[in-house]
Amino acid sequence: MGEASREIMRQARQEVPEWSASQVRQSLAEQRENGEQAPDVALVDVREKHEWNEGHIPGAIHVPRGFLELQIEEAIPDKDQTVVLYCAGGVRSLMAGKTLQQMGYRNVISMSGGFGQWKGSGFEFEMPRLMSDAQARRYSRHLLVPEVGEQGQFKLLDSKVLLIGAGGLGSPSAYYLAAAGVGTLGIIDADVVDESNLQRQILHNTDRVGQYKAESAKETLQKLNPDVNVVTYIERLDEENVRRIIADYDVIIDGTDNFPTRYLLNDAALLANKPVIHGSVFRFEGQLTVFKPYDGPCYRCLYPEPPPPALAPSCAEAGVLGVLPGIVGLLQATEAIKLLLGIGDPLVGRLMTYDALAGEFNELKLFRDPHCAACGENGNPENLPTYADVCAL
């Protein structure tokens, strides 16, 4: 180290306080014992990725020194919070501490001796979960997005999404969720592939006419991404199976085209506290919203009773432009990923509409009905009528 470097380090030590590994460990332990909701101490690892992969202190945030100025304010927005930095030996963390002070952080501390001292003292550390080389290549574009990154991709790989139907909406939703690496996709559909489906249901092909849609979908999705586990349910959603089927999933995508299933799914999702991403299409028009239990309106808030069958024709009766379900289904997949990652502003309490002929998106504000029979103040979603006898199936 040259004279200039030694002088820089001397100044850094004068300006940036240092804690030993034992002091940092004690502070973290006291914080856990106090059970504080917002941590007083933020622990930041400023080493490079390959160093992090060799082990890190539990609870640390990884912000490599080279990206510190770009990422630290997003990782730790409160500049009054105590920030403890560590590297391999305590040099880079001192320099990083000076940088944070220049950025306005008022309580910055460097851990002397770095991770080497922590590990040499026999303190606990953890090995990060690592992607295979094939996964790193497959999801490389996700890894470049700060809102997703490696941890977000692992979250997707651990997530479970249930698709009600492998038809016009379920096909594009499932295809892109599988491509994105959502680890488990459940598909419930008791229908078989028909030639009339192929104009819009992209999971199927001519060779699979007569095959169960759920099995055809599984074949397509597993060829696209072997990381994805596809669970098939060749049955119709009803009062007997709905709670059992939705229990294991994080998010539900509603691709149905009949009212009895929508009401049934709404009530079961409220009881199980599962968000439902609702989509529907009609000729040249589509709509989309997210029903998040008790955080926004439910399906019964919007439609306390179903319309007469004559006013609610299915696609088989009214027709639909083949590309329209692709647009709405992709938007449903987008909302699912936002919910799984906890990012963005999901369409809760908002109804997005799309007019393909006009090329226009519009949005309507939705509100919970305090008198809703399912989610209102005195509502109870259990044992409500499913309207199976009055709806057009």
Q: Which residues are marked as active site? A: 315
Q: Do the beta carbons of residue 161 and residue 308 sit within 8 Å?
A: no
How far is residue 117's CA from residue 88's CA, in Å, rounded to a whole number? Answer: 8
Give the residue from 355, 345, 232 showing the smallest Cα distance to 286: 355
How far is residue 246's CA from residue 270's CA, in Å, rounded to a whole number? Answer: 11
- Return the structure tokens found at 253: 């995508």
Strand order in the sheet with 61-62: 18-19, 108-111, 82-86, 41-45, 61-62
Give the residue from 228, 206, 232 showing the smallest Cα distance to 217: 232
Angstrom CA distances, 283 to 105, 121, 253, 287, 299, stand at 56, 68, 21, 12, 22
How far is residue 206's CA from residue 193's CA, in Å, rounded to a whole number? Answer: 9
How far is residue 146's CA from residue 63's CA, in Å, rounded to a whole number? Answer: 11
Q: Which residues of 349-381 are buried (b: 16+ CB within 10 A; e: fewer)?
A: bebbebebeeeeeeeeebebbeebbbbeeebeb
Amino acid type, 218: K
How far is residue 274's CA from residue 295's CA, in Å, rounded to a whole number? Answer: 11
How far is residue 323's CA from residue 148's CA, in Å, rounded to a whole number? Answer: 28
How far is residue 271's CA from residue 267's CA, in Å, rounded to a whole number? Answer: 6
Pairing outcome for strands 41-45 and 82-86: parallel
